[in-house]
Amino acid sequence: MNPESYGKAMKAGIFNSLRSSLVAAVTVVALCSYGAQAQTVTNIYSFLAASESAFPQGAALAQGRDGALYATAPGQGNGAFFRVQSDGRFKELFDFSPATGQSPAGGVTLARDGNFYGLAPGGGSNGLGVLFRITSGGTETVLHSFAGGADGTNPFWLPVQGVDGNFYGFTDASLYTYTSAGQYLVLNPLSLYQFPKGPPAQSSTGRLYAPTYKGGKSNCGAELKLTTAGALLNAPAFNCQNGDGAQTPTLLASDGFAYGTTLMGGNGAGNIYRVSLTTGVITNLYSFPADLSQGVNPIGAMVEATDGNLYGVTGGSADANLCGSVWSITKAGLFTLLHTMVSSEGCYLAGGIMQHTNGELYFLAEMGGAHRAGSVLSLDMGLGPFIALQKYQGKAGSTLQILGQGFTGTSSVAINGVAATSFTVVSDTYMTAVVPTGATTGNVVVTTPTGALTSNKPFTVNP
């Protein structure tokens, strides 16, 4: 696949062009067939070809308060918002329309109000895409219709909710915010950079990070560092060897570095890079081999799992069906190929990968599966259950929103060993707790009838 053509097609939201590019690319990478590695990928649901939820384009799954997984897909018409349980039970919750948005892509993000937020690159009052809010039951509200020009057009990557409660996201060439008061503002037109890859990642200092597909000194992209007001603080450029054509949202890992992938660079099949947040130096951590034996064009969101390793996917492989691969890498650069996909499981893993609080990893395939219309897949690495927080920093007296499982009968919640004097079990998969006075930065531990569950990241207690 021509990665630049792919990037343009993705950002324009033109799924038919993407499918055509994928078919054409098969002739380039059809070298031989590789079987699955030691780990087993399970297809828990295959989309129906004629449904509105088919072909989930570039979408990462999001865990809801009920423990289910949610995402969007462009389908065969205007697209849909859907829910799938970890055991494969599936429900299409909302069908989009020209007025409410067309061809939703990139998935959705769970906000602290309990609703999901996402983007559709088409439809709306101007036909140029919408920013929307949708409930877990499928009630959608259009928050903003993109108007083109400085306002932006054809949005693809979903927004992220910042610590301040505002949402931040990208169109093709601008950083925008949607405030908690309901105001849409363009913060920075980013005229020197093309196709920023979001959602932006926010550090504990409040800075926003994201790579771009093009721009920078060598026109191979750059890693942007911005304030929430839109000021560009730094933009170290890829030199085409350490990265070329970023296609992964920035991952801020527990070691204080940022990680991502590019479609090209290295040996030409893509690479995994690391960025120092203090110096801005970009290091090529791993290059995929030119023979495509470990996959080609790493793409979609990576995740730092509870074992401390980074997990990701590729868009293609040496398999004749261009089905992609699943891999892990340590922060020291030790790479492991976990699984090479076959068409019956699912093909083209463009949305990336996430970890559910049950410990398993989940991801979407845009094509392949039982009906050749995409699938929902899981990978069990033997990692145990944990809890996740909807916000990982706050001060004493603020409320923690906790996702997990087995909360019924919870006896205690503690932040770095300091017990919370107030907590509420809302359901077996969602609860809240008030940060106690005297708490310090550290992991959150919830004691349930079946044992203690620890947060996947520490909670930062602000003054």
Alpha-helix residue ranges (DSSP H) falling in 234-369:
none
pLDDT digit string (tens) for 150-180?
A: 888 778 788 999 999 999 999 887 899 999 9
Answer for the pair 83, 69: CB distance below 8 angstroms, yes or no: yes
Low-confidence ranges of the chain (pLDDT < 70): 1-38, 318-321
Answer for the pair 253, 259: CB distance below 8 angstroms, yes or no: yes
So what's the pLDDT on residue 319?
61
So what's the pLDDT on residue 262?
94
> How far is the C-alpha of 445 from the C-alpha of 412, rounded, in Å?
8
> How far is the C-alpha of 79 from the C-alpha of 99, rounded, in Å?
12
φ and ψ of 15, to 5 deg: -70, -35
Answer for the pair 386, 362: CB distance below 8 angstroms, yes or no: no
Strands (E), 122-265: 130-134, 140-145, 160-161, 167-170, 175-178, 184-188, 193-196, 201-202, 208-215, 223-226, 232-234, 244-246, 251-252, 257-264
> How far is the C-alpha of 288 from the C-alpha of 242, rounded, in Å?
12
So what's the pLDDT on residue 9?
43
> How far is the C-alpha of 287 from the C-alpha of 243, rounded, in Å?
9
Calculate the alpha carbon distances from 397 to 160, 393, 433 in Å.
Answer: 24, 12, 9
So what's the pLDDT on residue 149?
86
So what's the pLDDT on residue 2?
37
pLDDT digit string (tens) for 237-268?
A: 999 989 899 989 999 999 999 999 999 888 98
Strand partners, 274: 259, 283
DSSP state, residue 352: B
So what's the pLDDT on residue 266?
87
Answer for the pair 19, 39: CB distance below 8 angstroms, yes or no: no
Sorted by where each starts, the structural domains of the chain and their CATH numbers stand as 3-379 (2.130.10.10), 388-461 (2.60.40.10)
> How far is the C-alpha of 350 from the C-alpha of 25, rounded, in Å?
15
So what's the pLDDT on residue 321?
61
The burial class, CB within 10 Å (0-12 / 13-18 / 19+), for 256 is exposed
So what's the pLDDT on residue 317?
73
